[in-house]
């Protein structure tokens, strides 16, 4: 049981480049989330999805886009990378009717924009 898988683990981007961070889960969770983690700031929600075809903005969505074509996958797209997007990105998933279970997190993608 793989849980939540994120790829790549590390990436360096130049300003203005674009990339997609991949996230896949094999637990049949309906809800999926993208967070960014910055030192001393905790985790901030970027986007979330409550099911295939449904996405919504979180606290810090600017500069990012998401799609959810299947239950398993929830990719995060950066269109024009900026230094402010240097961060560690975590994908997470949960059952829709059971917040009691909390989230299952991936191991993260460390992104540096130079």
**Site residues (CB under 8 A) for other proteins?**
4, 31, 33, 35, 40-45, 48, 50, 56, 58, 90, 92, 94, 96, 99-103, 105-108
Minimum CB distance to other proteins smaller for 16 or for 53: 53
Minimum distance from residue 22 beta carbon to other proteins (Å): 15
- Tokens encoding 97: 């009717």
CA distance 25 to 46: 18
Minimum CB distance to other proteins smaller for 43 or for 52: 43
Minimum distance from residue 88 beta carbon to other proteins (Å): 9
Give strand pairing partners of 23: 6
Minimum CB distance to other proteins smaller for 13 or for 92: 92
Minimum CB distance to other proteins smaller for 64 or for 90: 90
Which of 95, 108, 113, 94 is closest to 36 using CA atoms? Answer: 108
Q: Which residues, other chains included, contact 40 with Cβ-Cβ below 8 Å and sequence gap of 6+?
A: none
Alpha helices in 9-66 (DSSP H): none
């Amino acid at each position: 049981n793989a849980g939540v898988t994120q790829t790549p683990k590390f990436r360096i981007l130049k300003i203005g480049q674009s990339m997609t961070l991949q996230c896949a889960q094999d637990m049949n969770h309906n809800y999926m989330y993208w967070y960014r983690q910055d030192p001393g700031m905790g985790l901030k929600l970027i986007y979330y999805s409550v099911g295939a075809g449904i996405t919504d903005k979180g606290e810090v969505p600017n500069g990012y886009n998401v799609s959810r074509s299947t239950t398993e996958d929830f990719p995060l797209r950066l269109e024009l990378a900026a230094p402010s997007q240097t961060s560690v990105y975590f994908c997470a998933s949960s059952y829709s009717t059971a917040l009691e279970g909390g989230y299952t997190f991936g191991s993260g993608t460390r992104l540096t924009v130079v």
